[in-house]
């Protein structure tokens, strides 16, 4: 049995059979009125947070850690994980809305009632390519900024005004939760895969989420927990380069948060020229797998890279909406 199969079996052992819960959802805690939902493997091959989820649940089960609130831990897409894939029929992180049927659309539908009862959702992802550092990726609001500072999962935050969609016509898991007026954050922990640093970071974020929830349950204010916290570095997507044709290729070795200069050549030698249109850092450079003939297997990604630039001023100064969550 592979390490992943063994961990999935261990996680399943932590999910007592329940008529009211979907599969691959574990619950713990003493049931106080603050519900933390931690999501792992919303993309099947982003398995890095799984060992942390199991460690947290086991410590709660053994009683070496306690939590006065209610905790749910969701493994989003174990069938895709078993195949080593991001998803099976549809990207689970795009289908939290009505649309054509797929395994993932049904999974989203069965998770919605649970997400509807959440007070805080933390969706733990990993990037496809290497990343120089972990980062948040979701819209800005004062409450989400406070949570990001409390969780300390990353100092960098790729953000946008609330109400601006990540991908038009789709709905991500965290977007669905925010649409219900609840706090939901997405953190990209590291490049995909299980590694000790990722486990440690995921576990630290999970622990801080529970500690903060418990503090709220005993009457503390989230805002007071952020005094002295490190400021977030906020980034805005300034450019998305369309993956206009399959022959486009990036030069080797570009990673997330790679600094680029205006005009810098980003294409592989001998392929159509791609240059950074402005200075900044790269996000989501794409190297889709190709067969021996160089053909890309499956649909082309929407963009081949994005360029982030630092937000010039704090969102409050820029007049971004401050509504809940
Ligand atoms: Zn992901």
Indicate which CATH number applies to the domain containing 283.
Answer: 2.40.50
Q: Is the pLDDT of residue 20 over 90?
A: no
| pLDDT-derived band at 297, boundaries 50, 70, 90 | confident
**Cα(46) to centroid(ligand 1), Å:** 6
pLDDT at 25: 97
DSSP state of 59: H
Question: What does the alpha-carbon distance between residue 129 and residue 313 come to, in Å, rounded to a whole number?
Answer: 29
b/e per residue, 247-269, with b = 16+ CB within 10 A?
ebbbeeebebbbebeeeeebeee
* CB contact at 8 A, 187 and 44: no
The residue range of the domain holding 301 is 238-325
Residue 303 shares a structural domain with residue 170: no
What distance in angstroms lies between residue 128's CA and the mean position of ligand 1's atoms?
8
- Rounded mean pLDDT of the chain? 96
Q: Is the pLDDT of residue 165 over 80?
A: no
The CA 75 to ligand 1 mean position distance, Å, reads 12
Contact 268, 251 (CB under 8 A): yes
Q: Answer whether residue 50 shows pLDDT above 80.
A: yes
Question: In this structure, is residue 232 part of a structural domain?
Answer: no
State in Å: Cα 40 to ligand 1 middle: 9
**What mean pLDDT is predicted for residues 134-161?**
97
Among residues 176, 205, 226, which one ends one of the domains? 226
Does 266 lie in the same domain as 139? no
| Cα 146 to ligand 1 centroid, rounded to whole Å | 23
Count up the domains in the chain and report the number.
2
Q: How far is the CA of 191 from the centre of ligand 1 (A)?
A: 10
Query: What residues flank ion ligand 1 with Cβ within 5 A?
Result: 43, 46, 125
DSSP 218: T
Per-residue pLDDT band for 325 (boundaries 50, 70, 90) equals confident
pLDDT for the residue 163: 84
Q: Give pLDDT, residue 167.
A: 75
Gap from CA of 268 to ligand 1 centroid (Å)? 26
Token pair for 56: 């947290």
Q: What is the pLDDT of residue 33?
A: 97
- pLDDT of 75 > 90? The answer is yes
Cα–ligand 1 centroid distance for 167 (angstroms):
14
Strands 135-137 and 233-242: unpaired
Q: Which of 221, 28, 36 is nearest to 119 (CA)?
A: 36
> Which range, of 17-21, 145-149, 187-191, averages the lowest pLDDT?
17-21
Q: Are residues 110 and 23 in the same domain?
A: yes
């Amino acid at each position: 049995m592979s390490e992943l199969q063994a961990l999935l079996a261990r996680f399943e052992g932590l999910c007592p059979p329940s008529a009211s819960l979907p599969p691959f959802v574990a619950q713990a805690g003493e049931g106080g009125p603050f519900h933390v939902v931690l999501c792992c493997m919303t993309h099947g091959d982003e398995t890095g947070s799984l060992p942390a989820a199991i460690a947290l649940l086991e410590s709660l089960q053994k009683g070496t850690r306690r939590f006065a609130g209610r905790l749910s831990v969701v493994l989003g897409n174990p069938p895709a994980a078993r195949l080593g894939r991001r998803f099976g029929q549809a990207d689970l992180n795009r289908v939290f809305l009505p649309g054509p049927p797929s395994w993932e659309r049904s999974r989203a539908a069965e998770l919605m009632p649970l997400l509807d009862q959440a007070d805080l959702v933390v969706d733990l992802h990993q990037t496809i390519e290497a990343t120089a550092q972990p980062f948040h990726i979701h819209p800005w609001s004062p409450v989400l900024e406070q949570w990001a500072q409390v969780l300390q999962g990353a100092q960098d935050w790729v953000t946008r005004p609330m109400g601006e969609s990540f991908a038009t016509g789709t709905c991500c898991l965290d977007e669905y939760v925010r649409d219900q007026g609840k706090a939901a954050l997405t953190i990209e922990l590291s490049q995909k895969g299980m590694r000790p640093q990722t486990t440690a970071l995921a576990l630290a974020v999970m622990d801080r989420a529970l500690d903060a929830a418990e503090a709220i349950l005993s009457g503390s204010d989230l805002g007071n927990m952020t005094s002295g916290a490190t400021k977030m570095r906020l980034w805005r997507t300034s450019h998305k380069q369309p993956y206009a044709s399959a022959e486009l290729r990036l030069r080797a070795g570009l990673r997330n948060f790679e600094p680029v200069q205006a005009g810098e050549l980003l294409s592989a030698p001998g392929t159509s020229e791609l240059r950074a249109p402005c200075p900044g850092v790269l996000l989501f450079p794409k190297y889709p797998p190709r067969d021996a003939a160089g053909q890309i297997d499956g649909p082309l990604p929407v963009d081949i890279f994005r360029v982030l630039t630092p937000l010039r001023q704090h969102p409050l100064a820029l007049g971004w909406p401050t509504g809940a969550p």
